[in-house]
Chains A and B, each alone.
Chain A
Amino acid sequence: SQWGEENLQALSIQEGEDVTMNCSYKTYTTVVQWYRQKSGKGPALIILIRSNEREKRSGRLRATLDTSSQSSSLSITGTLATDTAVYFCAMTNSAGNKLTFGIGTRVLVRP
């Protein structure tokens, strides 16, 4: 497996709160992608961070990548009920031809 400690989690938070989820990986990567999957739908990319960026922001989303500790995090500030979803981190293998997903973090935002 390309993943370290598996990041299966379920979080329940109140609308308006901030949430952070983490993933760690074993093998070297230069890009980590974060996907969101809403109920009954396929995953969709929400943010991508490269090894030379350390931090990337997009609206209420913030991703970090620490290549020295081989970990990435995704934060959502001021959550909305519509943020309820499963969030996956994903990394490209060394050959650059396959994307491997973590187990995911289930986030429930209560209105």
Chain B
Amino acid sequence: EAAVTQSPRNKVAVTGGKVTLSCNQTNNHNNMYWYRQDTGHGLRLIHYSYGAGSTEKGDIPDGYKASRPSQENFSLILELATPSQTSVYFCASGDSGNTLYFGEGSRLIVV
């Protein structure tokens, strides 16, 4: 069974609206990550977390917030969504060797 689950899997949002992408992991990993994937850019790190209560900025954090209320859950929040945030978002948990285990992705379209 899936160890990293994301919701929603697909979302259409309006410009200026708030979007929350949720991620749950059953791997009991301390580290969790949010990436976005766009053609020509590969996977780019938005935010990550070392454990409950911690969030860190990744390489492209502007326009995004993150929340880690528990070991299992890590959310990505777009307070004011823009069309440039149309993308596929991946959540991952990471083991002590920094190997990542990804969810199946959340496709977001901002119109």
Question: Hey, which bits of chain A sit against chain B, CB under 8 A?
Answer: 8, 31, 33, 35, 40-45, 48, 88, 90, 92, 96-104
Contacts and interface: CB of A to CB of B under 8 A. Distances in A.
Contact of B99 (A41, A48, A104): A48
Interface string B40-66: 111111001010000010110000000
Q: For the complex, would chain B's binding face be called helix, strand, loop or mixed by DSSP majority?
A: strand
A44 B102 contact: yes
Given A88-B42, A88-B43, A98-B58, A31 B98 contact: yes
B27 to A, nearest CB: 13
A98 B92 contact: no
B90 A42 contact: yes
The 10 closest A-B pairs by CB, nearest first: A42-B102, A103-B42, A101-B43, A101-B42, A92-B98, A104-B42, A43-B102, A45-B99, A42-B104, A42-B90
Given A40-B104, A43-B90, A99 B40 contact: no
Interface residues of B, number: 27
Contacts of B99: 33, 45, 48
Nearest to B33: A99
A90 B44 CA distance: 11
Residue among B42, B94, B98, B102 with max Cβ neighbours from chain A (10 Å): B42
A98 B42 contact: no
Given A42-B92, A98-B45, A103 B98 contact: no
23 contacts: A31-B98, A40-B104, A41-B105, A42-B92, A42-B103, A42-B105, A43-B90, A43-B100, A44-B101, A45-B99, A48-B99, A97-B56, A97-B98, A98-B48, A98-B58, A98-B59, A99-B94, A99-B100, A100-B59, A101-B44, A102-B42, A103-B40, A103-B41
Interface in B77-107: 90, 92, 94, 97-105
A96 B48 CA distance: 13
Given A40-B104, A101-B42, A103-B42, 8 more contacts: A41-B104, A42-B102, A42-B103, A42-B105, A45-B101, A48-B99, A88-B42, A88-B43
